[in-house]
Amino acid sequence: MALPFLDKGAYFPEWQESPDNAKSLWRKVDAMCSNDPHLNATSLLIHAQASRHFRHGRGQVGDLFTGGIGRLREVERYQRVTGQANSASCFNLVGAAQVGKSSLTGMRMLHQLSGAIPVWPFDPVPERGPVLIEIYTTVAALAAGLPKGRSKVRDREGLKQALSRLNTPTPARLARYDDHSTDALITAAWMKQAAANTSLWNPPAMTEEIAQKEGWTFGVV
C-alpha cells in the first residue's frame, strides 16, 4: 500500500516533489496518472524523476534503482529476516516477482476511495464494518498447514485439507482450481479467526512512523 520510505528518508530521493506520507503518496500517484484509463499508472512510470527509481525491463533500469532486488519497506525486510514471507520490491516492474504496477494501481484506488473505507494501519480499526488490509497469502497458507515453499493449492483435495485445518467447510465445486481462487478462499477462512486476534493489529515491530509512511502486512508479527 506504499513504497519504501524509511531506508532513504523519502519515497523518491532527489525529487523535491516526493510526498512525505502514504496518503500523500496515494494522492500524488492518482493526480499524476489522472488521464490514464483503468487506474493505470503509466504517466508516473515515464515521469522524468519518478522513472529513475524503477526497474522497467531488461536493460531498462533507472539510475536510482538500488540493490539486486530493489528497495524494500521495513515490513518486507522484517518478513525476510523472520522467514514469514519473501516479498519483492515495489520498484521492480519486470519478471515473475514484479509487484510495482499493481501496487501503484492500488494506490490510485485507495486515494479515490477517499476515506469511504478505513485502511489499516493508516486509519484506526473501526468498531464494526469493513476495513482494508494488505495481506501476503502465504501467511494464511502456512497457518492452514501448507508447507513453506509449496503453499499453492491447485486441486479440490488440497483445498479441502487446508480449509479443514481452519475449521471451514469446503465450498461447492469450483470451475477451476487455480491458485488465485484457492488463495482467496484460504485467506478468507484464516481471516475469520485472525481478525479477532488483537495482537495481529498491533505487531511489536510496527512503529507509528512505519504505519503512516510504509504500512504493514497483516499477520506478520
Q: Is 53 left (phi over 0), alpha (psi -120 to 50) or beta?
A: alpha
Please count the structural domains in the chain: 2
Per-residue model confidence as pLDDT tens digits over 126-135: 999 999 999 9
Same domain, 40 and 95: yes
Burial letters for 2-23: b for 16+ Cβ neighbours within 10 Å, e otherwise? Answer: bbbbeeeebbbeebeebbebbb
Query: In the listed set 116, 146, 173, which residue is the last one of a domain according to the structure?
Result: 116
How confident is the model over 83-100, as a mean pLDDT? 87
Same domain, 135 and 195: yes
pLDDT band, very low/low/confident/very high, at 37 (cuts 50, 70, 90):
very high
How confident is the model over 91-99, as a mean pLDDT? 88
Same domain, 35 and 133: no
Question: If you count DSSP H runs as helices and E runs as strands, how many of each does the chain have, helices first?
Answer: 9, 2
Cell of 102: 499493481
d(CA 142, CA 173): 23
d(CA 124, CA 181): 29
Query: In the listed set 116, 138, 167, which residue is the last one of a domain according to the structure?
Result: 116
d(CA 66, CA 74): 16
Omega before 4 within 30 of 0, i.e. cis: no
Per-residue model confidence as pLDDT tens digits over 38-71: 999 999 999 999 999 999 987 799 999 987 889 9
Same domain, 7 and 87: yes
Per-residue model confidence as pLDDT tens digits over 156-184: 999 999 999 999 999 999 999 998 999 99
3-state secondary structure of 133: coil
Average pLDDT, the chain: 94
Instruction: Kindly state the helix (H) or strand (E) to which residue 57 belongs, with its residue range.
Output: strand 55-57
Per-residue model confidence as pLDDT tens digits over 170-220: 999 999 999 899 999 999 999 999 999 999 999 999 999 999 999 999 999
pLDDT of residue 40: 96
Tell which wins on pLDDT, 57 or 113.
Answer: 113
In this model, does residue 6 exceed pLDDT 80?
yes
Same domain, 77 and 148: no
pLDDT of residue 10: 98
Same domain, 46 and 80: yes
pTM of the model: 0.91
- Give the domain extent around 158: 124-221
pLDDT band, very low/low/confident/very high, at 89 (cuts 50, 70, 90):
very high
Residue with cell 499508472: 41
pLDDT band, very low/low/confident/very high, at 150 (cuts 50, 70, 90):
confident
pLDDT of residue 85: 79
CB 90 within 8 A of CB 99: yes
Same domain, 13 and 101: yes
**Residue 53 per-residue DSSP state:** G
pLDDT of residue 95: 85
CB 79 within 8 A of CB 73: no
